[in-house]
Structure 1
C-alpha cells in the first residue's frame, strides 16, 4: 500500500523549513509521496497576503526538483474557507488503497482541538508532528492523543519572518527572488518604516515609472519595482541610515542628509532584501540627485519620483509632458529644476558634490550644445 503524507498549510510563502519537513517525510519516515496541500485561507487567519496563483508558483519553485512531491489544489481552488476534515474525507474516499498521514508543525498543537469536526478527524487519520520550536511544545496535547513527534533540519524559519524581511539568508533563493520581483508582502515590509503619505507616494512613483518605461520600450516590471521601492529608507531614523551607509561607503555621509535615504535604500535592498539586480539597486541609489552615468532605468525612476501623479508644484505638468515626449530631455530639465531649487533653498555650499557633478555633466553640456 502506497504511503502518502499530506502536508497542509497556507504556505504564504513556502520556505526552507517546509521543504526540510518534506524531505524528512521522504527520507526519515519512508513515505512514498508527499502531497503538498495549500489552503485557500487558513480558518484561523482572516486574510492571505498573496494570491492563489502566486502561492502555487512559489511552491512549484520550492519543490521543482523533488519528484516525490505532488501539489494538490483541492483546497486552494475553493472559493470558501477550507477545513482539514472535509479534505481528508475526500482523499480517503477517492483513494481507498492509500495509507494517508497528515503532517503538521508543533506550532499548530495549541489550536489543534479547535479544528473543525476534530473528534471525528482525530479518528480518521494518523497525525505526524514535526517539532518547530523546542521551547514551546504542547506536550499535554501530544500525550492526550498519543501523537508521534519528529525532528528535522530546522532553521526556525516562519512565513511571518519571511514576510517581515527576517532571516532571508535562510530562505530558498528562487522563492525570495520571486517575492522581490513580484513586490509581494510590500505593506508588511514597509508599514513600520513608512507613513501613509510616503507609502502612497511610493506606489504612485511605481505606476509613473511603469508608464514612462512603456513609452521607452523598457522592462516594465523592473521599472515598477525600482519606482515603488525608491523611497524605501526615506523615513528611517538618522541612526539607522548612518549605520547602513557606514557599512558600505562612509564617504557618502558627506552628502546632504536629505539625499542619504537614496543610498540607504539601495544598500537596504542589497543587504536585507537580498536583491541581486544591480540596475534596480543603482536606480534607487541615484534617484535623488542623479549621476554622471545614468541608465534608462536611472532616468525613469529619477523622473517618475519628481512628476508622479500627486505632484502639484508649479510647472510639473509641463515637465511631465516633456518626460513623456523625450526621457533624456525630461531628465535634464528636472535635474536643472532640482539644482536651482536646492541652491535657492540651501545655498550652493550645502547641496552636495553629487548634485553639482551631475548638473555639470548633464545640464551644462546640454546648454553648450545649444
Structure 2
C-alpha cells in the first residue's frame, strides 16, 4: 500500500494569513500532497516571544482547518511548551507516523538562516525540503548547495508582521481578521505608534469600564470592551492626517470643531483600515464625544465609560460613576450636560459644533420642555 504523502508546514502563524494558506493549497493542488500538517511553534527558536497566546493562534488555525479538508494541525511543539527545533519535531513525526511519506515546507525568506537551524547537518538528510518563493530575490547559493526545489504559488507578499501592523488587511483571510479584531489581538503593535503611553492606558481603562457597564445593562460585554478600548484610536493623529480622512470620506464633518474630529476619524480608521464591520461598535466610537439624538444603550455606555474611567479624577467623578451604574440614561444626560458646559467655557458656544448642540437639544432641552 502506497504511503500517504504529507507536507509539514511549521511556523509561528502569528497570525496565519492568506499566503500561508496559498502555500498549503499549492502543496495539495500542484505538488500532490494529500494532506498538509500545520505545525505551530510554541516559540520560534529565532524569536524572543510570540505576539499572541497559544489559545488564539490555535483558534485561528482551526478556522483554516475547518475551511480546507486537506489541512490538519499537529500540536507536537505546542504540547512541548518550549522552543522546539525543527530537527526534533521532524524526528518525532517520522518515528510516530511511519506509515506516511513526509516533506518539509519552508519559505524562501528562511534560506539565509537555513544552515543555522539546530542540528542542520542531520536535518537536511532526514526529510526532503520544498521551498516556496516568498520574495522576488532568494538565496540561490543555498538552493544550489543543497539541491533544493523551489516553487511558485499565488503570492500576495504578505507577512504576519504586516498583518499585525494593519498593512494589506484587504488581502487577509476575512474570518481571521474578524477573529483578531473581535479579540483585540496585536493591540499594542497597532496602537503603540499612534498614541503615547498615557492615552494607551486610558483606552484600556475605558474598555474595562465599558465592559463593566455592559454587564450591568445587558449589552454585549465584548462589543463594549472593543469599542471602549478603541474609542480614542486616532486621538493623537496630527491635523493633516485627520483632515485627509474627513475630506475623503465625510467632508461635511470638517465643519465640526477639531477637538472632536477623533470620534469621526476613529470610526473611519476602524472601518477602512482595521476592516471592522460591526456597525454597533463603529457607531459607539463615532458617538463617544458629542453623541447624537439616536444614541443606543451601547453608545451611552462608551460615552459614559470615557468620562468615568478609573484614572479620571475630577470633582464629583465618583457621583457620576455610581449614577451610570444605577441609571445609565440619567448618567449619560448629566455627563452630556457637564461636557456641554465645559465646552462652552473652554471654546465659546459659537465654537462647539452643531452636533453637540443637537444632542443636548434632543436629550436635555426637549425633556425639560
- What range describes the TM-score normalised by the shorter chain of this pair? over 0.9
Are residues 1:225 and 2:226 paired? yes
Q: Per-residue CA shift, 1:255-298, capped at 9, x if unaligned?
A: 11000001000000110011110111011011001111100110
**Cα RMSD (Å) of the superposition?**
0.8
> Which residue is 2:201 aligned to?
200
> Runs in 1 of length 4+ with deviation above 4 angstroms?
none
Q: Which residue of 1 aligns with 2:28?
A: 26
Cα separation, 1, equivalents of 2:367 and 2:90: 70
The answer to whether the aligner puts 1:4 opposite 2:3 as a matched pair is no
2:339 aligned partner = 338
Contact 1:244-1:267 at 8 Å conserved across structures: yes
Kept in 2, the 8 Å contact 1:5–1:33? The answer is yes
Contact 1:289/1:358, CA 8 A, preserved across alignment: yes
Per the alignment, residue 18 of structure 2 pairs with 16
Structure 1: give runs of 5+ residues left out of the alignment: none
Alpha-carbon distance between aligned partners in 1 of 2:149 and 2:116, rounded to the nearest angstrom? 19
Question: 1:124-181 deviations in whole A, cap 9, x for unaligned?
Answer: 11000000001x3011111111111000000111101100000101000000000000
d(CA) in 1 for partners of 2:62, 2:80:
19
**In the alignment, which of 103, 107, 111 is matched to residue 109 of structure 1?**
111
Q: Deviations over 1:44-99 (max 9, x none)?
A: 11111111111111111123221111111001122211110101110111122321
Alignment correspondent of 2:46: 44
Between the aligned partners of 1:175 and 1:71, the Cα distance in structure 2 is 16
Q: Which residue of 2 aligns with 1:214?
A: 215
Structure 2 distance, partners of 1:86, 1:251, is 61
SS at structure 1 position matched to 2:76 = coil
Q: What stretches of structure 2 of length at least 5 have no aligned partner?
A: none
Given that 1:62 and 1:172 are in contact with CA atoms closer than 8 Å, whether structure 2 keeps it comes out as no
Correspondence for 1:73: 75
* Distance in structure 2 (CA, Å) of the matches to 1:42 and 1:367: 63
Structure 2-normalised TM-score? 0.98
User: Alignment partner of 2:103: what SS?
Assistant: strand
Tell me, what secondary structure is at the counterpart of 2:43? coil
Q: Note the C-alpha offset of 1:33.
A: 1.1
